[in-house]
Chains A and B, each alone.
Chain A
Amino acid sequence: MVGGVRVEFEELAKRFDLRVVFRGVSGRAEPGSVLVITGPNGSGKSTLMTILCGLVRPTRGTIRYLRAGGGEVPRHAWREHLGIVAPAMGLYGELDAMENLRFFSTVRGLGFDEERCRALLREVGLDPDRTTPVAGFSTGMHQRLKIAQAVLHEPEVLFLDEPGSNLDPAGQDWLEGLVERQREGGTTVILATNDRREMEWGTEHVALPG
Chain B
Amino acid sequence: MWRFLAEAGAVFVKDLRTEFRTRVALNALGLFAVTTLAAVSYTIGPYRIAEADRPFLLSALLWIVIFFASMAGLDRSFVKEEDTQTAPLLRLSASPLVVWAGKLAFNLALLAVLMAILVPLYGMLMGFRPVSLWGFAGILAAGGYTLAVTTTMVAAIIARAMTRGALFSVLSLPLLLPLLIFVIQGTRAAAEGSPEGVMEALRAVISLGGIMTILSVVLFPAVWHE
Contacts and interface: CB of A to CB of B under 8 A. Distances in A.
A94 B17 contact: yes
Contacts of A93: 84
B163 interface: no
Given A92-B14, A94-B17, A107 B93 contact: yes
Contacts of A54: 92
Given A55-B91, A89-B89, A91-B86, A107 B22 contact: no
Given A82-B92, A104-B93, A90 B84 contact: yes
Contacts, number: 62
Contacts of A149: 89
A107 B85 contact: no
Interface residues of B, number: 22
A149 B91 CA distance: 14
Given A55-B92, A90-B84, A90-B85, A95 B17 contact: yes
Given A84-B92, A89-B88, A99 B7 contact: no
A79 B98 CA distance: 14
Contacts of A99: 14, 17
B interface secondary structure, majority: helix
Interface string B7-41: 10011001001100110000000000000000000
A88 interface: yes
B89 A95 contact: no
Contacts of A88: 85, 88
Nearest to A149: B89
Nearest to B8: A107
Contacts of A95: 14, 17-18
Interface string B147-158: 000000000000
B66 to A, nearest CB: 27
A108 B93 CA distance: 6
A189 interface: no
A86 B14 contact: no
A106 B92 contact: no
A86 B98 CA distance: 23
Which of A53, A57, A92, A133 is packed against the most chain B CB atoms within 10 Å? A92
| Chain A interface size, under 10 / 10 to 19 / 20 to 34 / 35 or more | 20 to 34
B171 interface: no
B94 A107 contact: yes
B48 interface: no
A109 interface: yes
A130 to B, nearest CB: 16
Given A55-B92, A103-B10, A107-B93, A89 B85 contact: yes
Interface string B72-96: 0000000000001110111111100
Interface in A33-58: 50, 53-55, 57
Given A90-B84, A93-B84, A99-B14, 17 more contacts: A54-B92, A55-B88, A55-B91, A79-B92, A79-B93, A86-B88, A88-B85, A88-B88, A91-B86, A92-B18, A94-B18, A99-B17, A102-B10, A103-B14, A107-B93, A109-B7, A149-B89
15 contacts: A57-B226, A79-B92, A79-B93, A90-B84, A90-B85, A92-B18, A94-B17, A94-B18, A99-B14, A99-B17, A104-B89, A107-B90, A107-B93, A108-B93, A111-B6
Interface of A: 50, 53-55, 57, 79, 82, 84, 86, 88-95, 99, 102-104, 106-109, 111, 133, 149
